[in-house]
Every structure is written in structure tokens, then in C-alpha cells.
């Protein structure tokens, strides 16, 4: 018998056998190292998280103790005084914040804001004299005595003169009784008066004593009169419009109210609302004077 001839074709290995060989090689032979199992944070990880939390809390408390002073803001229209406080508190990262006398939402001008330990001085600062500029329309009226509600025209039998207006304003100089408008933030039975006013309860509140240092006519052209006001605590500019109109037997609505100053804090020292820094730092604040007595003096 002759010798068997060897085939030149490569030997074919069944697919199933190839898979078993590869599996065995990966199982018993050299193979890539398996990834190390991930460890749970455990006690050490939780302790690290607690340390970071305590560190963050300490930083916040340190910042709150470090920021103390006054920020004079030029409040824009259509923004409440608490809207300003909310912006300042947010940009100071939660520092205690308050103000030294509210402004109507439609009013503009100086709002003195206290931060940190300066908030303890705000109550005494509310007694500081204030300066306003207002424009009053004598041809119409509204329940709020401003343009929060639609104005209603008033029939005026005889238009007052500049001298007539001057005479009425002179009678208001000094200490007098003034009834706050129903649309005000004064609390009645634990609720803000404006809440009842918006439910059509428009009765003015009981009168209270206020002090007026000066009332000057800046401009008069029927039906509008511009008045510069220097007054004490608790004076309502909108009530001035109401009382002036009643005395002249015509309307009285404030179409603009701008606060020029609160004591020594004038509008030229005020920061625009949109310019409040973020973050708000100590270097942006004014110091709190120890004595405000000098700002109570009349001009």
C-alpha cells in the first residue's frame, strides 16, 4: 500500500470547538485583569461628606457675621420694597436683611437696606426725615390715590390757581393729623390694610399725627402740580394728594412719587437695582452711624 497523501488545505475546526477553546483560554489562560469591584462609600465616605457639609455651613455663617452695613438702593417702579430685599438677601447669600421704610410699588427712589447687625438700627432709622418729589393730577381720582387703579375724571367747577394751592399747602406745615390711605401696608386686626382695600373696602384709616417740614411748588400747569416734600415718619404722599384735592374741591391722584432722600442717604449715593453686585460683599456697603439725631433737625 502506498503512503497516504497529506492535504494542502488547512484543517477546519468546528465553530463550536473554537468557542470552547476561546472560553477556556479566557478562563484558564492569560487574560485581561477584571476591573476592581467598586467599594461603597462606607463610614469613611459618609464622614467626608459630613466634613464638607460642616465646612460649607461654617463658611456661610462666617460670611453672615462678616457682612454688616447699609446699602442704599434706587428702587425702580413696579417693584415692591420686599422685592428689593429679596434681591439683596439672595446676592449676599442669605445675610439677614431689612429696610428703613417702605416705598409704594409704583414709587421710585431711595430705599435704605440694612444687612447683618445693621438691621438692629433700622427701627431708629425709620424716624429719619424724608424728601420726596411728587406729581399730582387734580382732574381725577382713584381709591388708592395713585395709578394702581384706573383714574376717574372729576368735574371741577372752578380750577384752582397757584396761590390757592400754596394756601392749602401752607396750612399743612408743622404737625397735623393725616389719615393713611386704605391702600397701605398698615396692619388692621393683624392684616395689611391693602388686603381689605382690594376687596372694595376703601375707607381711610384713623388719622395719626405726622410732621411736615416743607411743601414747595416746583411747577404748576393745570391739571398737574409738582411738589417738593420734606416730612417726618409716617407721612403718606398719596394722602397729601387726596387732602389737597378735597381742600381745592377737585381731584387728587399721584401720577409719580420719587423719594430723594432718607436722612443723609440721598439719591446720589444710591445704587441702581440692576447694579447690585453678585456676590454682595462688605466693600459694597456703607457703615452704620452711631447717632442719627442730627438728621431729625428741620431745615
Q: Cite the active site residues.
A: 104
| 202 Cβ contact partners less than 8 Å away, ≥ 6 residues apart | 143, 182
CA distances from 146 to 228, 236, 241 (A): 17, 12, 9
Residue 212: CB partners within 8 Å, gap ≥ 6? 172, 173, 174, 175, 176, 229, 230, 231, 232, 235
Which grid coordinates belong to 68?
Answer: 454688616
Q: How many CA atoms lie within 13 A of 243 on its CB side?
A: 20
Distance CA 179, CA 227 (A): 20
Cell of 173: 406745615
| C-beta atoms surrounding 251 within 10 Å | 25
Q: What are the phi and psi torsion angles at 101 (to 5°)?
A: 130, 120
Contact present, 165 and 248 (Cβ < 8 Å): yes
Reference 130, options 152, 107, 158; nearest CA is: 107
Q: How far is Cα 17 from Cα 184, in angstroms, rounded to an integer?
A: 92
**Alpha-carbon span 155 to 226, nearest angstrom:** 21
Amino acid at each position: 500500500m502506498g503512503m497516504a497523501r497529506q492535504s494542502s488545505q488547512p484543517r477546519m475546526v468546528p465553530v463550536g470547538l473554537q468557542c470552547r477553546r476561546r472560553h477556556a483560554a479566557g478562563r484558564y489562560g492569560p487574560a485581561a485583569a477584571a476591573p476592581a469591584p467598586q467599594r461603597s462609600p462606607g463610614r469613611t465616605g459618609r464622614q467626608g461628606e459630613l466634613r464638607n457639609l460642616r465646612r460649607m455651613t461654617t463658611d456661610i455663617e462666617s460670611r453672615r457675621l462678616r457682612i454688616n452695613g447699609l446699602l442704599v438702593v434706587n428702587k425702580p417702579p413696579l417693584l415692591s420694597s420686599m422685592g428689593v430685599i429679596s434681591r439683596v438677601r439672595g446676592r449676599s447669600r442669605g445675610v439677614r436683611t431689612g429696610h428703613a421704610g417702605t416705598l409704594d410699588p409704583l414709587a421710585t427712589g431711595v430705599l435704605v437696606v440694612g444687612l447683618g447687625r445693621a438691621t438692629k438700627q433700622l427701627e431708629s432709622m425709620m424716624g429719619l426725615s424724608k424728601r420726596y418729589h411728587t406729581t399730582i393730577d387734580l382732574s381725577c381720582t382713584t381709591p388708592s390715590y395713585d395709578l394702581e387703579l384706573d383714574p376717574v375724571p372729576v368735574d371741577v367747577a372752578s380750577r384752582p390757581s397757584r396761590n390757592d394751592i400754596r394756601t392749602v399747602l401752607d396750612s399743612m406745615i408743622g404737625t397735623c393729623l393725616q389719615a393713611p390711605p386704605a391702600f397701605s401696608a398698615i396692619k388692621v386686626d393683624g392684616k395689611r390694610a391693602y388686603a381689605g382695600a382690594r376687596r372694595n373696602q376703601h375707607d381711610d384709616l384713623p388719622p395719626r399725627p405726622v410732621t411736615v417740614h416743607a411743601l414747595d411748588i416746583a411747577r404748576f400747569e393745570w391739571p398737574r402740580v409738582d411738589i417738593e416734600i420734606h416730612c417726618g415718619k409716617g407721612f403718606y404722599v398719596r394722602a397729601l394728594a387726596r387732602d389737597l384735592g378735597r381742600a381745592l374741591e377737585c381731584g387728587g391722584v399721584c401720577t409719580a412719587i420719587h423719594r430723594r432722600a432718607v436722612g443723609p442717604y440721598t439719591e446720589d449715593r444710591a445704587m441702581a437695582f440692576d447694579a447690585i453686585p453678585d456676590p454682595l460683599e462688605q466693600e459694597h456697603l456703607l457703615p452704620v452711624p452711631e447717632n442719627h439725631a442730627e438728621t431729625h433737625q428741620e431745615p
